[in-house]
């Protein structure tokens, strides 16, 4: 399938740089496009009406990860340098960008300025001025980033003052696990009050974790290959606990709808069933997924998807088309562009596919 089939005019897109709360708006008042696959229809509404499209018994699955600061200072000789964390690897290594005026070599050991117990050893240089490194002890990296880190970005231009003083504006209201390097953004639309109304309707809530990593930060969402099948995504870490696994098994056995809040949730849950038949019992697990979903993929878990409005020629819009149907999804984007006023990307508006 040709990548150009997932292109559209970018001239009229609005991509906000700040969360809605920092722009004087409430989370749930954004716009939402609803695609109904059963009727091949498109509805333009507001996010606060999402409860009208959810049913008692639905299982709403949420990603409870939140975005970390990504930059720490390390000692090097008589000076210091900044390490900007770009992504984690399944082998325990980490990809970083290093701000340094001098030449560095593999085997160089660095010590954190803020945490003397955290060290970093350079393993090997990577393309685009990146380095593969190893932090020890590995578990202290997340703690140090969460406690001492700064946010330095090429792809996300956050206001550093707001990031430090109003971190909750950049997180979903149910976020509780630090680890992502970019914002899991679909859930930003929910306020606590809206989630309470959804639960009161009889919708069950479940929580999984996927830490958004190199897939986002290294900007490999953009598909440069001529055919979508030739694109690759990088692995990301996920956790599905015993309670969430039990909720999923019960919902699927009872033929209740499983609603994924975000592409992170969809990738996680569909990864659990790769190579397995529909109806196979979901087991609690921690793992890495490099699942790339594009048209032709056979979905075994997800019945409804909530996602943001995505950029053209991105792995996210291809995933959305795989689930919603290419013709319906691309027709909806044509309407979105034609109507104007919609906001894209992580702080923008949303799409619900039934």
pLDDT value of position 215: 42
User: Do residues 64 and 208 touch, judged by C-beta distance below 8 A?
Assistant: yes
Residue 155 has pLDDT above 60, yes or no: no
Q: Where in the chain do CATH 2.40.10.240 domains reside? A: 71-148
Average pLDDT rounded to a whole number, residues 57-80: 93
Out of 2.160.10.10, 3.40.50.2300, 3.40.50.300, 2.40.10.240, the CATH code matching 71-148 is: 2.40.10.240
pLDDT band of 156, cuts 50, 70, 90: low
Average pLDDT rounded to a whole number, residues 13-20: 83
Mean pLDDT of the chain: 90
Residue length of the chain: 354
Average pLDDT rounded to a whole number, residues 33-46: 98
pLDDT value of position 225: 81
Q: What is 3-67+168-353's CATH topology?
A: QueA-like (3.40.1780)
Rg of the Cα atoms in the chain:
21
pLDDT value of position 8: 82
Token duo for residue 5: 């089939």
CA quadruple 183, 185, 187, 190: dihedral, nearest 10: 110
Average pLDDT rounded to a whole number, residues 162-189: 90
Average pLDDT rounded to a whole number, residues 231-249: 94
- SS3 of residue 96 by DSSP: strand
The DSSP letter of residue 95 is E
Average pLDDT rounded to a whole number, residues 13-40: 91
In angstroms, the CA 261 to CA 258 distance is 10
pLDDT value of position 158: 67
Lowest pLDDT segment from 94-103, 152-161, 302-311: 152-161
Residue 218 has pLDDT above 50, yes or no: no
pLDDT value of position 113: 96
Average pLDDT rounded to a whole number, residues 37-55: 97
pLDDT value of position 216: 44
Q: How many CB atoms lie within 10 A of CB 203?
A: 20
Half-sphere exposure of 130 (CA within 13 A, CB side): 16
Q: How many CB atoms lie within 10 A of CB 303?
A: 18
pLDDT value of position 10: 67
Looking at the chain, the whole-number percentage of residues with pLDDT higher than 70 is 94
Q: Where in the chain do CATH 3.40.1780.10 domains reside? A: 3-67+168-353
In angstroms, the CA 139 to CA 218 distance is 22
In angstroms, the CA 16 to CA 230 distance is 31
pTM above 0.85, yes or no: yes
pLDDT band of 234, cuts 50, 70, 90: confident
Lowest pLDDT segment from 3-17, 41-55, 150-164: 150-164
Lowest pLDDT segment from 19-28, 89-98, 115-124, 155-164: 155-164
Kindly state the greatest CA–CA separation across the chain: 67
Average pLDDT rounded to a whole number, residues 308-312: 91
pLDDT value of position 217: 44
Parallel, antiparallel, or unpaired for β 94-99 and 109-112?
unpaired
Residue 233 has pLDDT above 90, yes or no: no
């Amino acid at each position: 399938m040709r990548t150009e089939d997932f292109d559209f005019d970018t001239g009229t897109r609005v991509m906000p740089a700040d969360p809605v709360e920092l722009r004087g708006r409430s989370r749930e008042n954004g716009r939402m496009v609803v695609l109904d696959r059963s009727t091949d229809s498109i509805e333009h509404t507001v996010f606060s009406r999402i409860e009208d499209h959810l049913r008692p018994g639905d299982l709403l699955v949420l990603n409870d990860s939140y975005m970390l600061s990504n930059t720490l200072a390390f000692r090097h000789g008589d000076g210091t340098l900044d390490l900007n964390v770009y992504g984690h690897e399944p082998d325990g290594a980490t990809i970083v960008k290093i701000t340094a005026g001098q030449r560095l070599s593999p085997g160089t050991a660095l010590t954190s300025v803020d945490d003397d117990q955290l060290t970093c050893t350079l393993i090997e240089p990577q393309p685009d001025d990146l380095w593969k490194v190893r932090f020890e002890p590995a578990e202290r990296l997340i703690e140090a980033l969460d406690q001492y880190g700064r946010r330095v970005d090429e792809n996300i231009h956050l206001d550093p003052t707001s990031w430090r003083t109003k971190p909750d504006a950049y997180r979903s209201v149910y976020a509780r696990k630090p680890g992502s390097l970019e914002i899991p953004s679909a859930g930003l639309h929910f306020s606590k009050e809206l989630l309470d109304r959804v639960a009161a309707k009889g919708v069950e809530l479940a929580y999984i974790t996927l830490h958004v990593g190199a897939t986002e930060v290294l900007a490999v969402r953009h598909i440069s290959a001529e055919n979508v099948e030739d694109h690759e995504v990088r692995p990301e870490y996920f956790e599905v606990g015993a309670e969430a696994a039990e909720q999923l098994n019960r919902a699927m056995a009872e033929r209740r709808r499983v609603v994924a809040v975000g592409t992170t949730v969809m990738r996680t849950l569909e990864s659990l069933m790769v190579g397995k038949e529909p109806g196979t019992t979901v087991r609690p697990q921690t793992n890495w997924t490099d699942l790339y979903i594009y048209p032709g993929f056979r979905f075994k878990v997800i019945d409804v998807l909530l996602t943001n409005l995505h950029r053209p020629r991105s792995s996210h819009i291809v995933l959305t088309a795989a689930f919603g149907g290419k013709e319906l999804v691309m027709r909806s984007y044509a309407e979105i562009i034609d109507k104007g006023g919609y906001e894209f990307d992580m702080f923008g508006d949303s799409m619900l596919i039934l």
